[in-house]
Amino acid sequence: MQHASVSGELPMFRFSPNAYELGLFEVEDGTCQSCGLRRSMRYTSSFYSVEEVSYICPWCVADGTAARVFDGEFTDRASIDGVPHDRTLPITVDEVEAEEVATRTPSFPSWQQGGWRSHCGRPCAFLGDIGSSDLARYLEEPDFLADVNGGLGWDPDLIRTRLRAAGDLAGYLFRCMTCDAHRLHVDAS
Ligand SMILES: [Zn+2]
Ligand SMILES: [Zn+2]
């Protein structure tokens, strides 16, 4: 009998360190379609593949099995800052880490296909949702301030007043893996 999922040995995700707290997995008994094992936790966020997949266990997210078996991605590689849509252009972010974000990291729930922030030439870690009232503590960071002040193509006043966690104008907080700087992503319904 498999009891791995109740043994406290859940895999961790360095690019999504709060994945379990954020509800990117939910407790549900089932058979993982990727490894075929009975599991008690299911991935709930986006997975892009030709085949419709409804049950992926945390281990098959973490070790790349699901991405390989279904030839899928959790996050569209080209939505990561520094990965150009045009594949003939040079990639300006760590390619191995971009691959890890795309194929071995839970995506974050968003209205549109998300924009995964990068910093210091590496994809950032996704920390969670953020609303207008929580922006202040990061505004002394120049790159975060630039994200707020139009760097993402959004009206700064809207971001400062209307941003809500998981709202119609949703904010997402990222942190650099190298220098701990924060970055913002904004998405609208
Ligand atoms: Zn599995
Ligand atoms: Zn950095």
Per-residue pLDDT tens over the stretch 5-40: 444 589 999 999 999 999 999 999 999 999 999 999
The residue segments making up the domain with residue 134 are 111-188
Secondary structure (H, E, C), 113-151? CCCECEECCEECEEEEEECHHHCHHHCCCHHHHHHHHHH
Three-state DSSP at 182 gives strand
Per-residue confidence (pLDDT) for residue 8, from 0 to 100: 57
Query: Of 87, 107, 127, which residue constitutes the final position of a domain?
Result: 107
Q: What is the total count of domains within the chain?
A: 2
Q: Give per-residue pLDDT as tens, 105-123.
A: 999 887 776 689 999 999 9
Neighbours of 139 (CB within 10 A): 13
CB 46 within 8 Å of CB 70: no
Cα–ligand 2 centroid distance for 177 (angstroms):
7
pTM: 0.92
Three-state secondary-structure class, residue 35: coil
Q: How high is the pLDDT of residue 72?
A: 97
99 plus 15 within the same structural domain: yes
Residue 48 has pLDDT above 50, yes or no: yes
Is the same domain home to 10 and 27? yes
Ligand nearest to the CA of 67: 1
* Token code pair at residue 149: 């002040």
Nearest ligand by distance to the CA of 53? 1
Token representation of residue 40: 């008690």
Whether residue 117 sits in one domain with residue 86: no
The pair of three-digit structure tokens given for residue 126, joined into one six-digit string: 């996704």
Domain check: are 100 and 171 in the same one? no
Q: Do 57 and 117 fall into the same domain?
A: no
**C-alpha distances in Å from residue 89, one per residue of 23, 26, 84, 92:** 36, 39, 6, 9
- Residue at which a domain ends, from 75, 92, 107: 107
* Domain end residue (candidates: 107, 130, 165): 107
For the residues 171-180, what does the mean pLDDT come to?
Answer: 97
Distance 23 CA to ligand 1 centre (A): 18
14 plus 102 within the same structural domain: yes
Task: Give the pLDDT of residue 9.
Answer: 86
CB 32 within 8 A of CB 57: yes
Residue 56 shares a structural domain with residue 120: no
